[in-house]
A = this chain, B = another copy of it.
Amino acid sequence: MSNITKKVSWSSRPDESGAAGEGTPLLNGSEQPRHSRQVELAPNSLDYDNIENQLFLEEERRMSHMGFRCLEISRWVVCGLIGFLTGLIACFIDIAVEQLAGIKYQVVKENIEKFTEVGGLSISLILWAVLNSAIVMLGAIIVAFFEPIAAGSGIPQIKCYLNGVKIPRVVRLKTLVVKVCGVICSVVGGLAVGKEGPMIHSGAVVAAGVSQGRSTSLKRDFKIFEYFRRDTEKRDFVSAGAAAGVSAAFGAPVGGVLFSLEEGASFWNQMLTWRIFFASMISTFTLNFFLSIYHKNPGDLSNPGLINFGRFETDVRNISIQMSSFNRHATVLLRYVHRPCLQVMEAMLVAAVTATVSFTMIYFSNDCQPLGPEHTEEYPLQLFCADGEYNSMATAFFNTPERSVRSLFHNQPGTYNPLTLGLFTLTYFFLACWTYGLSVSAGVFIPSLLIGAAWGRLCGILLASLTSSSSIWADPGKYALIGAAAQLGGIVRMTLSLTVIMVEATGNVTYGLPIMLVLMTAKIVGDYFQEGLYDIHIKLQSVPFLHWEAPATSHWLTARSVMSSPVTCLNRLEKVGTIVDILSNTSTNHNGFPVVELVTENDEGGNVGPAKLCGLILRSQLIVLLKHKVFVELARSRLTHRKLQLKDFRDAYPRFPPIQSIHVSQDERECMMDLREFMNPTPYTVPQDTSLPRVFKLFRALGLRHLVVVDDENRVIGLVTRKDLARYHLGKHGLEELQLAQT
C-alpha cells in the first residue's frame, strides 16, 4: 500500500504562503504590510467547533437525558463560582488599594503640613516621589520578571481570546496573581492608571481556571468538570468571567454581558447568555456584600461596583449634543523597552515624575476653595490657603483617580476654577499617555474618564460663563460626565457596552441618549483618524483578529483566491513515520489536516490528483495518538490494549506536549495509524467559488478554525484558516492585505 501523502508545501509565514501569490488578484493599495514584528510566543487559534468524531458521538449517545441536565446544572454552578470569586478578587483589590493609599496619603499629608510652615517642602516632594517609586518598582518587578503578559490592562488579550485567538499564558493562575499584585502597586504608587481594566482580565483567568476543575500550574486535578476541558466550553466560561469582571469593576451587570457579547460570542445562545448574566449578577453582589461589611454598613447593596459615579439625580433638561463634537483620541506613546531591568527603571521614573509634576502643580496653584461641611475630598490639603480652605488643585492630584472623577462629577459649581482644570487636563493627559506604555498592570478606563471629566467640566464652566449663567446650563458636573464618556469612547471605541456601563454606573437611564450620541460621535470621529487603542494593540501583535463581517468591498474574492493551497493531507490509514515527519516539520506549523480517502484508480499514475475529503484531524489529536501509540499493528499484537478514550484527550488539554518530546522508534515508524475513529468525519466545507463574505460568515458564525475548500467532486483543494480571512481589511484606499502571525 503506497502512502500518497500530499505535498507538504503550505508555507509557515503568511508572506510566503502559496495562496497569497497565486490566484489572488492584485489588491488596491500598494502599501506594504506595516507591522512585521512577530510576537515571541505564537498565538493559537481556538476551535469553537466540536470535534464530532466517533469517540465524541459515542459518549454523547451514551449520555442520558439526566446526564445532560446534570451538565447544565454544573455549568450554572461554575458560573456562580466564577462570579463569586471575581467579586472577591475585586473586593480584595479595592480594600487593599484603599488601605495602602490611605496610609501613603496620610504620611505625605502630615509631612507636607509639617513643612508648609517651617519651609523645606522639597523634602516632602522627595518623600512623595520615593514612596511612589518604591511601590511602583515592586509592581514593575513582578510584572517584568515573572509574567510579562500581565502588563497593561489585559483587555486586548481578552478581546483576542473571545475572538478565538489564544495568546499564550494569558489565562494562567500565575498571570492572575501577578496582575492583582501589580495593579495594587500601580494604583497605590500614584500612577495615572485605574484598577478596572485588569479586573476584566482577572475574571477571565478565574473562569478559565474554575471551569477546568484543575490547575496545571499547581499540578492539582480535582477530577471535576472534565467534560468542560475543550475549547468550546472553556471559551463560553471565559466570556462569563470577562462579564463578571466588567460587572465587578463598574457595578454594571448588563454592561458586562454586553461587553462579552460585543467582543466575543458571534453565535448568540440564549442559555449561555443567561449564564453570563448570572455570573455578572453574582459578581456585583458579592463585591457589594463584602464591601458593605467592610464599610460597616452590612446589607447596603445600593453602591455596586469598584467605581461608582454616584447617582445623578437632577433632570437632564439640556445636557446636550453640543459636547459631543469635542473628542480627542490619545496619541499613545507605545514604546518597547525590552530589557526587564530597564522596564522597571522606567516605571520608577514615571512614578517619580508623576509625583514631582503633581507636587509642582499643587505648589504653584493658588486656587483656594472653602472647605465645606459636605466635601467629598478625603485628604484636603491646606498648603498655603487660609484656614478653613483647601487647595483645589490638590483634590485632583492628591487623591486616587476614582475619587477625583467623582469630585469632578458631583462637586458644586464653582469648586474648580477654569485655569486649574485646564492645567490639570493637560498635565494628566501627558502623564497618562506616558504611563500607558509601561510594563505594569494597569487600566486605561479611569485615566480616560478623569481627563474627559476634567475638560468636560472646563467646557461646562466656560459655556456657563458665556451664556451669562442661566441656571439651566449651570451644572458643570453633567458636562464632566459627557466629557468623560466622549474621552473614554474616543479611546476604547466600545459603543454599546460602554453606553450601558456608563448608564448603569450613573444609575440614571435619562442620560442614555446623550451618552450614546456622544459615544457614537466619538467613535466616528476617532475611527476617521485612527483605530481604537485596543485594536492598535492587537494589530501591533499582528494577531489574526476577525471582525464582525468581511470587508464590504470583498465580494470579488472567492474561497479559491483566499485559501492556503496545496494542503497537507493525511490518509485514513497513515504511516506513523509520515505523521511524525509532518508534525516535526518546523517550517510548516500546521494545526489541522484534512483526511482523504485513498483514490485507488490514480494510485498507479505519477500525477496524483487531489483526493476525496473524508474528515479532518488536528495536530493535538495526532500528538495524543502518538503518545499513546495507537498503532494498528500494536493493537493486533496486544489484544488487551486499552482503547483510547475521550478522557485521554481531555487530560492532555490544553497543554499538549510538543512533537519533539514524543519518542518514536524506527520500528514504530513503519507502523500504521487508523485515523477513522478520531477524525471529525463531517468537517464544514465550501465550494471553491464561494465569495469571501460567505466564507467569512460561515467561519465567524460557527467559530471555526479550519474550513476545507472542495471542488465539485468533494476533493480537497485548499484550507481556509483564520489568518486567511483576517488578512483582508478595509483601509482608506480600499481593500488592503495585512501580514499576520501564524496560528
Contacts and interface: CB of A to CB of B under 8 A. Distances in A.
A406 to B, nearest CB: 18
A285 B316 CA distance: 12
The oligomer's copy count stands at: 2
A251 B510 CA distance: 10
A113 to B, nearest CB: 38
A286 to B, nearest CB: 10
Interface string A231-259: 00000000000000000000101100010
A271 B304 contact: no
Interface centre among A63, A271, A516, A613 (most CB of B within 10 A): A516
Nearest to A314: B302
Interface string A30-55: 00000000000000000000101000
Nearest to A680: B694
A299 B318 contact: yes
Contacts of A374: none
Interface in A272-319: 273-274, 277-278, 281-282, 284-285, 299-302, 304, 315-318
A284 B556 CA distance: 41
Contact of A271 (B548, B612, B682): B548
Nearest to A262: B270
Given A268-B268, A299-B315, A504-B509, A702 B691 contact: no
Q: Chain B CB within 10 Å — which of A509, A697, A702, A734 has the most?
A: A509
Interface stretch (A191-199, A495-503, A581-589): A495-503
A65 interface: yes
A65 B730 contact: yes
Interface residues of A, number: 83
Contacts of A254: 254, 258, 500, 503
A contact face: mostly helix, strand, loop, or mixed: mixed
Contact of A553 (B64, B495, B552): B64
Contacts of A684: 698
A65 B552 contact: yes
A254 B258 CA distance: 10
Interface string A700-743: 01100000001011100000000000000010001000000000
A27 interface: no
A282 B516 CA distance: 10
Interface string A481-503: 00000000000000110011001
A730 to B, nearest CB: 7
A739 to B, nearest CB: 22
Contact of A702 (B262, B698, B712): B698
A133 to B, nearest CB: 40
Contact of A509 (B253, B316, B496, B510): B253
Interface of A: 50, 52, 57, 60-61, 63-65, 68, 251, 253-254, 258, 261-262, 265-271, 273-274, 277-278, 281-282, 284-285, 299-302, 304, 315-318, 495-496, 499-500, 503-504, 507-510, 512-513, 516, 520, 548-549, 552-553, 555-556, 597, 612-614, 681-682, 684-687, 689-691, 694, 697-698, 701-702, 710, 712-714, 730, 734
